[in-house]
């Protein structure tokens, strides 16, 4: 009887050993092909699990070669893989598509000054909550020398109405109004689309300019193409966006360059604008107010 029991246990142990299979593999990120340490590797439907090593490799013993493995890591999409007889595998994980747009729910008040022609000014920016058409933004800036010079800018923007893991898009209308030294007055309006690829921004649009030469008593109307390029960066504790736009009209070229950024409370911008004989370098500092807080 004892011999039979011993033989039975030996057979069961052998069968169990035959059913256990070691699977080895590597987990990498799709975006840059880097290996991912700390990824959970789980045999689906069981408590059997392990994590990837510092070099992204793992080894797990499973019941058979047809089980399904689950790969889970914060910031990446969870993925399942049925082994189908494989014992050596490579898994590529994609970044999670969930995005938080931190440019919503904000009011920013700036004090700004033009260093060339318009020393006194201010600016206000308002952005909406995130909606099905993205974040709606509006801004208005006014600068003057308290005499005949005025420099006014305005903007309405639909940010991120189109958004995927790889890119998002912004659409805006912008307005510039210049009155300069009884020399000329100008009004420029632009419609723009901006494609945001990670931290690079590609800008294209159409712009219209109405300019009145006061001395010549002559009004010129012209339209042209606007193109631009932007670059986003982040240096703790502030972020920044550097952008440049050029609009080409019939006989005029309009230049706009801006460095803008800040952190949760403090905001800044450095802005350069040139059209005909008018140019302005503006500096602005501001405070950000969040007017909405999520419920706990």
Ranges in the chain annotated CATH 2.40.160.40? 106-290
CA distance 44 to 40: 12
Neighbours of 101 (CB within 10 A): 15
pLDDT (mean) for 167-180: 95
Tell me what pLDDT residue 14 has. 44
* Domain 106-290 in CATH 2.40.160.40: yes
Tell me what pLDDT residue 10 has. 46
Q: How many residues are listed for the chain in this entry?
A: 296
CA distance 164 to 34: 22
Pairing of strands 88-93, 21-29: parallel
| 88-107 residue pLDDT tens | 999 999 877 666 667 788 89
Tell me what pLDDT residue 291 has. 65
Q: Above 80 in pLDDT, residue 218?
A: yes
CATH of 2-93, one of 2.60.40.10, 3.40.47.10, 2.60.40.1120, 1.10.1240.10: 2.60.40.1120
């Amino acid at each position: 009887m004892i011999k039979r029991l011993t033989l039975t246990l030996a057979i069961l142990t052998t069968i169990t050993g035959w059913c256990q299979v070691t699977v080895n593999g590597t987990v990498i990120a799709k975006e840059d092909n880097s290996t991912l340490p700390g990824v959970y590797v789980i045999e689906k439907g069981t408590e059997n699990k392990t994590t990837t090593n510092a070099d992204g490799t793992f080894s797990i013993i499973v019941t058979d070669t047809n089980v399904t493995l689950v790969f889970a890591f914060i910031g990446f999409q969870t993925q399942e893989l049925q082994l189908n007889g494989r014992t050596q595998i490579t898994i590529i994980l994609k970044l999670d598509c969930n995005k938080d747009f931190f440019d919503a729910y904000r009011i920013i008040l700036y004090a700004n000054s033009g260093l060339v022609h318009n020393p006194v000014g201010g600016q206000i920016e308002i952005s909406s909550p995130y909606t099905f058409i993205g974040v709606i933004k509006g801004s208005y800036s006014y600068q003057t020398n308290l005499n005949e010079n005025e420099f006014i800018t305005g903007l309405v923007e639909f940010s991120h109405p189109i958004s995927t893991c790889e890119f998002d898009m912004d659409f805006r209308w912008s307005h510039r109004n210049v009155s300069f030294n009884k020399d000329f007055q100008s009004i420029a309006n632009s419609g723009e689309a901006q494609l945001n690829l990670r931290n690079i921004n590609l800008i294209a649009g159409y712009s219209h300019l109405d300019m009145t030469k006061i001395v010549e008593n002559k009004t010129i109307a012209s339209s042209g193409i606007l193109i631009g390029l932007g670059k986003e960066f982040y240096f703790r504790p502030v972020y920044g966006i550097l952008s440049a736009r050029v609009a080409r009209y019939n006989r005029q070229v309009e230049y706009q360059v801006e460095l803008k950024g800040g952190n949760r409370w403090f905001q800044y911008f450095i802005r350069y604008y040139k059209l005909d004989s008018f140019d302005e370098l503006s500096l602005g500092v501001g405070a950000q107010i969040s007017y909405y807080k999520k419920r706990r």
